[in-house]
Amino acid sequence: AAAPTPLFSMDDFGYQVDDQGVLHDFVNPDAPGDS
């Protein structure tokens, strides 16, 4: 399952999709959208 595409650059904000298709924010772990 693919995560929805954010409205900003994943590179700029440190978002990555893991092998389960879960979107993680590695810059701000407390941000919404983390698993």
- pLDDT for the residue 17: 75
Tokens 């389960």 -> residue: 20
Kindly report the pTM of this predicted structure. Answer: 0.30
- pLDDT for the residue 19: 77
Cα-Cα end-to-end distance for the chain: 14
- pLDDT for the residue 12: 56
- pLDDT for the residue 30: 65
Query: Within the chain, which residues score under 50 in pLDDT?
Result: 35
